[in-house]
Amino acid sequence: MLCVSGGLMEQHPQVFLSPSTCMITQRPVKQQDVPPPLPPRRHLIKPRPTSLPLPPPPSSQPPLAPLSLPPPVPPRVVKGGESRLRANVNVVSLSIGKLVDISQASGLESFQSPVVCGKCSAALSCLSSIQRKVWVCEFCGCENGVNDSVKSVCVGQRAGVHSDDLYLPNHSDDDYQNLEDTLVVFCVDISGSMSVTTEVTSSCGSPTYISRLEGMKDALQRALSSLLLESPRKRVALVTFSDEVVIYGDGASTPLTLRDWALVDYDHIWQQGVAYSIPHCIAETYEQLVQRVRDLREDGATCLGAAALASVAMASRYAGSKVILCTDGRANIGLGEMEHTPSLSSSPLTPYFYRQLALQAVGSGVIISVMTFEGTDCRLADVGRFADTTGGRVNIVSIGTVATEIHSASMDNILATGVTATLLAPEGVYFPYEDENNHKLVREIGSVTKGLEITFQFAVKPEFVEVFLQKDTLPFQLQLSFKTREQEKVTRVITQQRPVTSCSEIRAGSLNMAVLAVHCAQLCGSLTIEGRVQEAQRQLKAQQDLHKQISKQRPIQKEDSIYGNWMDTMTTICDDIITESQTLSDEAAKVMYQMKRASSVGNNNNNNSGNTIEIQKKTRRKKTALMEPM
């Protein structure tokens, strides 16, 4: 087993021959970083009707969704006899939220494009060696002819085993667009169930009842006021859904209504959304919008999918736009309806729509946030895909919190748009749990908000292990292309050599437990959402074992126990799903989606900035209590 540990920006790099690479820097742990609260037991799971078949195993996927299959099961490397580490500690962590901030970049700038390998597209870096005008690619071994001018292309500082190059091609092929100019589309459920009331305490202290819709209208009005104040140039639009979708745009034009057949025609809805007149900025439209919100009445069913599609279509005209989707029920008519589809994994058709629209949103740089009302069943596992794929928030709100949530989700926190990350490792390395069974990984991320951290684990194909063990280091390269808030097109190329060690040499101090824990949280969240609960359990177990092993070698640090609590929370959820053959409740789906966006403790100082694990002061229920029979 081969380990490569440490990180592209980390202080104590060490590559183990079962490799862990990270691009994070350690930060002090904050006092208030507590694990996410466990969903209450009785909401955690819902009974699976006995008539329903069990979800199919991940291998029998429908042919309909070739782009959205769960990643293939990684090839199993035959375990070496004495390998005691069951957790794969070869993990790369990329702090995308930091790396798109080029004011923090240490490298030098070039106004050219990178020179790339003809075979694997690795970029020539200061770590590459050129002999007699030939560059033998350090990632795939391809021989590339290069001319003398490349010396001026290779601009980054060579700092030992690390180079960081910025390429800013000086042509701009786009119209000028200010990120302030983007859209926020409120996509709001006004179905009949929104009339359900909740007791709240009025300002004079007496109990009073208000409906979800009233709570929502109040929240929207507050959000509109804040936007007017904070970003008067922001374009704001309103879309509602019940039996029909009504596109109000900025409230000034005649609303457009989609109903009947029009609710199931993907292309038609998209065209209508795109063609609707571009909303003006809120400074001009505030009054009309407030009036539209005031006039909303609840009635009818929930054509959520069609409304989300129309909203994304409107937002797609400006990269960096947002759709904020609020609902209290699952889609039951039109595109994406789930009333007649039994559960997450057993019906491929419904998730297909959600995946397709999510990918289209990513391609347009649109971020979708999803909030559902507590005490409802909205099939958050499915509808949460919108947020998960596009980098939005997933949360369950109450009448008391919906205003804060809508405000947070509408805040301008986009750091870069059109972000694509390409990670290269030498041939022979592959990335388990990713689609490509290759030494190169490409991930289209779309728009990026603060604190985004993505992790990958990697492994070495068995036939390469011996070869790699002969080497002292292995190269890794991250190519990050994106547009800054100033609409500058940037490619950032970071290349690092990581030391290689065999497993027997791993010392506790050399493992970055934060990176491993964040990766475990992200991976297990992902596996659980995909219905691969047993795999998630195995990962959790391995991580917990590693945690135990490490804690014998060094004192327990505060963050260790926080990460340990994450694992416990997820373990409880997975155990419940397995032992009772039940599906993901909205509460459990929320935790898993939040885990998928986990970032290292202290990575995100701003609680409002997005998708780090919710920091809540609620006392976490004791696991033992949760496991007791109801």
CB closer to Zn ion, 215 vs 426: 426
489-499 sheet: strands from edge to edge: 109-110, 162-167, 489-499, 473-484, 414-424, 440-449
Residue 478 lies near Zn ion (rule: CB under 5 A): no
**Least distance CB 129 / Zn ion (angstroms):** 14
Among residues 380 and 478, whose Cβ is nearest to Zn ion? 478
Check if the beta carbon of residue 341 is closer than 8 Å to that of residue 349: yes
Q: Which residue number, 194 or 425, has a Cβ lying nearer to Zn ion? A: 425
Q: How far is the CB of 128 from Zn ion (least distance, A)?
A: 10
Residue 139 or 373: the one with the smaller Cβ distance to Zn ion is: 139
Residue with tokens 């639009």: 237
In angstroms, rounded to a whole number, what is the distance separating the alpha carbons of residues 155 and 393?
38
User: Could you tell me the smallest distance in angstroms from the CB atom of residue 122 to Zn ion?
Assistant: 5
Range 122-181, binding Zn ion (CB under 5 A): 122, 137, 139-140, 142
Alpha carbon of residue 304 to chain centroid: 22
Q: How far apart are CA 168 and CA 190, in angstroms?
A: 47
* Rounded CA separation 515/518 (Å): 5
Please state the closest distance from residue 142 (CB atom) to Zn ion, in A. 5
Question: Nearest-CA neighbor of 427 among 415, 416, 417, 436?
Answer: 436
Q: Give me the least distance between CB of 493 and Zn ion, in Å please.
A: 13
Amino acid, single-letter form, for residue 369: S
* CB of 140 or CB of 573, closer to Zn ion: 140
| Complex with Zn ion: residue 30 or 119, whichever CB lies closer | 119
621 binds Zn ion (CB under 5 A): no
| Identity at 335, one-letter amino acid code | L
CA angle 598, 391, 215 (to 5 degrees): 95
Binding part of the chain for Zn ion, among 37-45, 113-121, 205-213, 454-462 by CB under 5 A, reads: 113-121
Return the C-alpha torsion angle 620, 623, 628, 630, nearest 10: 30
Q: How far apart are CA 543 and CA 86, in angstroms?
A: 8
CB of 145 to Zn ion, least distance (A): 13
Min CB(231)–Zn ion separation in Å? 44
Burial code of 336-368, b = ≥16 C-beta within 10 A, e = fewer? bbbeebbbbbebbebbbbbbbbbbbbbebbbbb
Q: How far is the CB of 347 from Zn ion (least distance, A)?
A: 42
CB of 130 to Zn ion, least distance (A): 14
* Environment class of 143 (CB within 10 Å of its CB; exposed 0-12, middle 13-18, buried 19+): exposed
* Among positions 96, 117, 223, 421, the unique one binding Zn ion when judged by CB under 5 A: 117
The smaller minimum CB distance to Zn ion, of residues 139 and 476, is found at 139
Nearer to Zn ion, 409 or 429 (CB): 429
DSSP string, 427-485: BTEE-TTSS--SSEEEEEEEEEETT--EEEE-EE-HHHHHHHHT-SEEEEEEEEEEEET
Cα 462 from chain centre: 31
Q: Which two tokens stand for residue 22?
A: 């990270």
CB of 178 to Zn ion, least distance (A): 38
Q: Near Zn ion by CB under 5 A, which window of 10-18, 109-117, 467-475, 545-553?
A: 109-117
Q: How is residue 257 written in tokens?
A: 């209504």
The answer to whether 431 and 422 have CB atoms below 8 angstroms apart is no
CB of 460 to Zn ion, least distance (A): 18
CA distances from 410 to 101, 223, 368 (A): 21, 8, 10
| Least distance in angstroms from the C-beta of 123 to Zn ion | 10
Number of residues in contact with Zn ion, rule: CB under 5 A?
A: 8
Name which of 15 and 140 has its Cβ closer to Zn ion. 140
Q: Cβ distance 430 to 462 under 8 Å?
A: no
Q: Is 119 in the site for Zn ion (CB under 5 A)?
A: yes
Please tell me the distance from the alpha carbon of residue 514 to that of residue 95, in angstroms, as a whole number. 13
240 neighbors 247 (Cβ within 8 angstroms): no
Q: Which is nearer to Zn ion, 29 or 142 (CB)?
A: 142
DSSP state of 149: T
* Smallest separation, CB 411 to Zn ion (Å): 42
Measured in degrees and rounded to the nearest 5, phi and psi for residue 374 equal -65, 150
Cβ(311)–Cβ(392) below 8 Å: no
Contacts of 470 by beta carbon, 8 Å cutoff, 6+ apart = none
Q: Which is nearer to Zn ion, 137 or 396 (CB)?
A: 137
Question: In this complex, which beta carbon is closest to Zn ion, that of residue 137 or of residue 319?
Answer: 137
Looking at beta carbons only, is 115 or 239 nearer to Zn ion? 115
| Of the candidate residues 4, 15, 120, 533, the single one contacting Zn ion (CB under 5 A) | 120
Query: Residue 414 is inside which H or E element, if any?
Result: strand 414-424
CB of 146 to Zn ion, least distance (A): 13
Assign 473 to helix, strand or coil.
strand
Q: Report the nearest approach of Zn ion to the CB of residue 136 (Å).
A: 9
CA angle 608, 187, 609 (to 5 degrees): 10
Q: Looking at beta carbons only, is 142 or 359 nearer to Zn ion? A: 142
Q: Which residue stretch of 118-126, 250-258, 494-502, 552-560 sits at the interface with Zn ion (rule: CB under 5 A)?
A: 118-126
Closest to Zn ion by CB, 117 or 515:
117
Tokens 């409906």 appear where? Answer: 211
| Residues 69-108, mask of contacts with Zn ion (x by CB under 5 A) | ----------------------------------------
Q: What is the C-alpha separation between 188 and 311, in angstroms, rounded? A: 10
Q: Which residues bind Zn ion (CB under 5 A)?
A: 117, 119-120, 122, 137, 139-140, 142
